[in-house]
Amino acid sequence: MMAQGGPGGMRPPIILLKEGTDTSQGRAQLISNINACQAIGEAVRTTLGPRGMDKLVLDNAGKVTISNDGATIMSLLDIVHPAGKTLVDIAKSQDAEIGDGTTSVVLLATDMLKESKAFIEEGVHPQIISKCYRQAAGLAIQHIKDIAVQISRSDEGATRDMLLKCAATSMSSKLLSSHSDFFTKMVVDAVMVLEDDLPLDMIGIKKVSGGHIEESMLVKGVAFKKTFSYAGFEMQPKRYTNPKIALLNVELELKAERDNAEVRVDNVSEYQKIVDAEWTILYEKLDQIVQSGAKVVLSKLPIGDVATQYFADRDVFCAGRVSLDDLRRTVKACGGVVQATCSDLNSSLGECELFEETQIGNERFNFFTGCKKARTSTILLRGGADQFIEETERSLHDSIMVVRRALKSDTVVAGGGAIEMELSRYLREHARTIPGKQQLLIGAFAQALEIIPRQLCENAGFDITKILTKLRTKHVNGGMWYGVDINTEDISDNMEKFVWEPAVMKINAIGAAAEAACMILSVDETVKNPKSGQQQGR
């Protein structure tokens, strides 16, 4: 990039950036960024709603992922356009904060940009558009808070009913929609088992290939797959009532001396002393564990064949190489402390009402139920293809997050495009009270909100014009909760039909989409460093 002298005479060019640096700026760059974001929106728009299609993504390693979850698809797409990466970030933030609505937030952001494109081409300054979009987003979020329906928390039955409705709405657009009755109960039960702060890490999801999807089950406790075991394991008891549980980070295995240290000896008897000492140390550890009264021994590190047989002879169950996540969840649920030594274990043992090892499909699972310290749950998923089970897991994760949010906020709005149409009507009416170009820009924001019901109709193959016209008429005449009815190809009161979504989900989606749109509108130059290839906006 070079700067030339003024009209008074040519001065030598001033070199600002390295040779080969690629720069583009001005209105053309802004339009280019908007077009890139629209292309990303096109990639995911067909996944929205109960009749949405799935995407098959093949990565460099050859792994196939079939999903209609917006955040999953966005993270798998190798997007190189710098402005487009903003949409990936908002999809991830929506997934982390709410768990669902990831496709909606991308579509809202892309349609806001699409509506602003005409104004930019006509010469409206991007900062004016951004200011109006932020104002419109603030009005929309406040209106959601004003009209959201509060569910009474005092009535446990009403609360559970509300959670079931929110979980069913979340699942309606997922692979599990045909089994939603079965899984909504499972998800709500899994969340309601938890403590008041609803820790997500206390819900485990384990996948077991084979069997029918409705053979999936909820375990009110900790469950994990049987770990690698040595000979002697089959002789150990597989069921205990009220057992003490030892939780260790200790290796109970003999190793070849050359692996531990270099030892120089003069004769065989000295070598034998070293071997005997190692055996003695191992047996001392094992004896200390048995003396503590523990009936179940779990260790993050390996438990060798000698130790396995030793425990089997004394009616003690052991499992080595337990994953850190499973060990932490067992500690939280059953109490106790993970010890790095075998001495003085009595004060650090956990306990539960029942330990059992059970066959699930081709796998054996260890179950800890009736945990005394913290409440936890584990969902065991069954199914055919691995891709199917993985998509089922993603769908359940979204529903679990929605149920947690609904429990924390206890306000709901109607789904199926109803809340978006109501916000669109509200903003259009508000825009009429504002003079000047702001009226048009807030109207454009209102138009962008209609992308949700519009796309629901398009994905279901409905007559878009007919249904949106009906919805606009209904909302102007006071039908606040009317949205698209997928089953009848018409409109319906989705609050009465129990198509419910947590209000916080819509608040987060509109806020994040508006911020992303304003951020992209504020970029008027892109500089590409020739060496690193990194992109950065200015």
DSSP class of residue 339 equals B
Q: Per the residue annotation, which of 65, 69, 72, 110 is the catalytic one?
A: 69
Q: Are 209 and 282 within 8 A, CB to CB?
A: no
Name the token pair of 70.
């917006």
Using DSSP's 3-state secondary structure scheme, residue 249 falls into coil
Helix or strand holding residue 33 (H, E): helix 27-44
Q: Is 102 a catalytic residue?
A: yes
Q: In angstroms, rounded to a whole number, what is the distance separating the alpha carbons of residues 184 and 538?
A: 47
Q: Per the residue annotation, which of 95, 398, 410, 485 is the catalytic one?
A: 398
Q: 282: closest CA among 305, 261, 264, 259?
A: 305
Site of tokens 């709500």: 188
Q: Per the residue annotation, which of 47, 72, 86, 102 is the catalytic one?
A: 102
Q: Is 325 a catalytic residue?
A: no
Name the token pair of 360.
């699930």
**Residues with Cβ < 8 Å from 44, sequence gap 6 or more?**
55, 70, 73, 74, 103, 106, 107
Using DSSP's 3-state secondary structure scheme, residue 22 falls into strand
**Residues with Cβ < 8 Å from 138, sequence gap 6 or more?**
none
DSSP class of residue 306 equals H
Q: Is 398 a catalytic residue?
A: yes
Q: Per the residue annotation, which of 72, 86, 103, 227 is the catalytic one?
A: 103
- Residue burial 76-105, b: 16+ Cβ < 10 Å; e: rest: ebebebbbbebbbebbebbbeebbbbbbbb
Strands 482-485 and 55-58: unpaired
Using CA atoms in the order 319, 322, 328, 329, what is the torsion angle rounded to 10 degrees?
-70
Written as one letter, the residue type at 465 is T
The values of phi and psi at residue 316, to 5°, are -120, 140
Name the token pair of 204.
């485990």
Sign of CA dihedral 68, 70, 72, 74: positive
Q: Is 227 a catalytic residue?
A: no
Using DSSP's 3-state secondary structure scheme, residue 104 falls into helix
Q: Are 107 and 41 within 8 A, CB to CB?
A: yes
Tell me which residues are annotated as active site. 69, 102-103, 398
